[in-house]
Every structure is written in C-alpha cells, then in structure tokens.
Amino acid sequence: MKDVRNVLVIGAGTMGHGIAELCALAGYSVTLVDVSEEALKKAMERIAWSLSKLEKKKGVKKDEVLSRITTSTDLPSSASNADLVIEAVVEKTEVKKEVFRTLDENCRDDVILATNTSTIPIAEIASATSKPERVLGLHFFNPPTLIRLVEIVVAEKTSEETVELAKKFVKSLGMDYITARDVPGFVVNRINLRVFGQAIKLLESGYSVEEIDACAKYRIGIPMGLFEVIDFSGVDVLYNVIREMSARGFDVELSPILEEMVREGRLGMKTGRGFYTYEGLYGRARI
C-alpha cells in the first residue's frame, strides 16, 4: 500500500476549505483548487481564522499548518502530483463528472479519487473515469474540523485496496467512519431529508422558523435548530440535494420556499441571509 503525502482538494467552498484545513492539520501537503480566485482567497482567510482559534485553544502551530496549503486554479497541473484527491465542487452530476474526466486524464494511475458528494451515486461519477476501482465517496460533514464522522461510500467497482487505503487515511485525520452503500443520499442524507422536509412543510403550514427551531432545540434535543443547520450548510446545498435525490426516485419534494430563496440568493450564512440574518464572516443568527 502506498503512502499518501499530497492531497488535492477541489472546490474551496464551505466543505473544501474545511477539508483542506483538516488534512493540513494532520500533516499532509495540500493543494486547494477552485475555478474562482475569489473563492480561494476567502477559503484561506477562513482557514487562517479557524487556525488562529486552534492556536489559542490547543497550541496548534498556525503558520506551520498554513504553509502546508497551496492554492491553484489550474486543475490539470495540480492533479499530476496528487496521491489522493477529494472533490468538493457544487452538487451537480455533470460538473462533478467533468472534474473526474480531467482527473482521469491528468492523475497518476495509482491515485485515489474521492468525492464528497452528499447524494450522487459514486458509480455515476466514477463512470467518467477509466479507473472506477480507484473511485469512492468520502463524505465529510460540516464543519469537518469538528464533526468527526466520514461516510466511506463503496461503489460496486471500488477495489478493496482503495477502501483499505481510504480507511487508513480517514483514521489518520483522527476521524471515525461508517462504510455506506452506494445509494442516493447514503445514510445521513436519507435521514436528513426526511427531517428537513418535515420542518419545511411545517413552515409552509404557517409555523415560524423560530417556533420550529425552538421545538427542535428544546424538545427534540438537537444542538442547533433545523433552519440554523440549513443556513449553516447552504440553502443551495439542500436545494441541489433534493433535486439530485428526487431525480433518482427518492420521495422528496422541492418546496417553493427553497426555490424562491435560491432565486433571490438567500443561501444562508455564506451570503449573510437565509432563514436568519448574519453579520460578518461567522456572524450569529438573530433569533
């Protein structure tokens, strides 16, 4: 089994920047790629912000960790050096397949290709490559530096060697994992969609965001309200997840409320407005 040294993370958004930070904290050399220079700049600011907190709380050497991360907008040349790739671009099958086609053309033959997709079957994404045995899902949760679970999604053609290497890698990040079957939404999002779907139905029926979140937090006992979680993850992320899941026969409907929010760019914390309003990079919800 070869050693993983260089990790390539593609997509520098909500998940990609956190995954890059996590890998750098574990000692890996990380290249973070995005199509947008602006997204890369923001990602590095967020990583630096998070590492400053970890430096104060846990004595993490911020500058040393930061020095292990480089950024690029050039995927083909970044791909050639990668031992393991984690793709975290937007949840759209065609965009992901295009990224995997580029990886197939430019990565070494013994690379491990992982996708952080929330819902899309791994086999579909792997079909864009000539090496489906090297492809699997590594589904991290938001924020990956705090939520220590990864769904390792094993597709029909994923090889044993790839799975074993992925397990070793996930453990090296200090994470736990479950091994999930390659069905739309895997395990966590099949549960999530039922819960969030019900919360949105209650909203449509006339309850307020605050009332529903109060019930979730104070009666059901979860640490964040359901609408706070949606804002934190991205309203567009839930929107895309529902579209991808319903296109694959999962019984879930897209609410007009979500359609309107996406149309208006009310995407949650990342745009300052979602179900709640936020100020600053990590502003608090006004509840």
Active site residues: 118, 139, 151, 189
SS3 (DSSP) at 277: strand
Q: For the chain, first and last CA: distance in Å?
A: 51
Please give the structure tokens belonging to residue 109: 């033959």
Q: Does 90 bind ligand NAI (CB under 6 A)?
A: yes
Q: How many residues bind ligand NAI (CB under 6 A)?
A: 27
Please give the structure tokens belonging to residue 56: 């104060």
Element (H, E) at 179: strand 176-181
Looking at the DSSP assignment, which residues form a beta bridge with residue 10?
Answer: 33, 87
Interatomic CA distance for residues 120 and 125, integer angstroms: 8
Cβ closer to ligand NAI: 115 or 158? 115
Looking at the DSSP assignment, which residues form a beta bridge with residue 277?
Answer: 273
Cβ closer to ligand NAI: 116 or 129? 116
Segment near ligand NAI (CB under 6 A), from 6-14, 126-134, 147-155, 161-169? 6-14
Looking at the DSSP assignment, which residues form a beta bridge with residue 140?
Answer: 150
Residue with tokens 């994404």: 125
* Contacts with ligand NAI, 118-147, as mask; x by CB under 6 A: x---------------------xxx-----
* Contacts with ligand NAI, 224-263, as mask; x by CB under 6 A: ---------xx--x--------------------------
Cβ closer to ligand NAI: 159 or 271? 271
Residues at the contact surface with ligand NAI, assessed by CB under 6 A:
10-16, 33-36, 39, 88-91, 95, 99, 116-118, 140-142, 233-234, 237
